[in-house]
């Protein structure tokens, strides 16, 4: 099976599909002037849209790596995350504190999912 790349720019593709697996580039919120809750909601809405475009959904997420700028925001991010993840479909997940590309970004996620 070949490799499909979607929303490709010089530096990266937002979606890559290979062997029935979907890889999303790191996603951040559009509204980076907001607190952790709204940023997490915005980021996860982008994940939903990209997964739909790829032919998948949040119920098919295999793995997620979450990056938070400061672990003080861990509980606030998890509150939104826990409401977003469908019951019985929690992916393997790691969460780490990381320096972000811009100081206004509080959270970022990288996703690997199966196609439907």
Domains of the chain: 3-114 (3.30.1330.40)
User: What is the residue-averaged pLDDT of the chain?
Assistant: 97
Percent of the chain with pLDDT strictly greater than 70: 99
- The reported pLDDT for the residue numbered 116 is 81
Sign of CA dihedral 92, 96, 102, 103: positive
- Give the phi and the psi of residue 17 in degrees, each rounded to 5: -120, 130
User: What is the mean predicted confidence (pLDDT) over 43-63?
Assistant: 98
How many of the other CB atoms lie within 10 Å of CB of 104?
A: 14
- According to DSSP, residue 56 is labeled -
pLDDT, average across residues 63-83:
98
CA angle 109, 114, 116 (to 5 degrees): 125
Q: Which helix (H) or strand (E) holds 89?
A: none
Q: Is the pLDDT of residue 1 over 80?
A: no
Averaged over 16-44, what is the pLDDT? 97
Q: What is the pLDDT of residues 77-115, one digit of tens each?
A: 999 999 999 999 999 999 999 999 999 999 999 999 999
């Amino acid at each position: 099976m070949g490799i499909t790349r979607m929303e490709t720019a010089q530096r990266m593709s937002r979606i890559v599909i290979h062997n029935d697996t979907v890889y999303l580039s790191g996603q951040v919120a559009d509204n980076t002037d907001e607190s952790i809750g709204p940023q997490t909601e915005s980021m996860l809405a982008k994940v939903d849209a990209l997964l739909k475009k790829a032919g998948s959904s949040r119920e098919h997420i295999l793995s997620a790596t979450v990056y938070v700028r400061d672990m003080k925001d861990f509980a606030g991010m998890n509150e939104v995350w826990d409401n977003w993840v469908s019951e019985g479909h929690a992916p393997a997940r790691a969460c780490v504190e990381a320096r972000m590309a811009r100081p206004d970004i509080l959270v970022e996620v990288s996703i690997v999912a199966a196609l439907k």
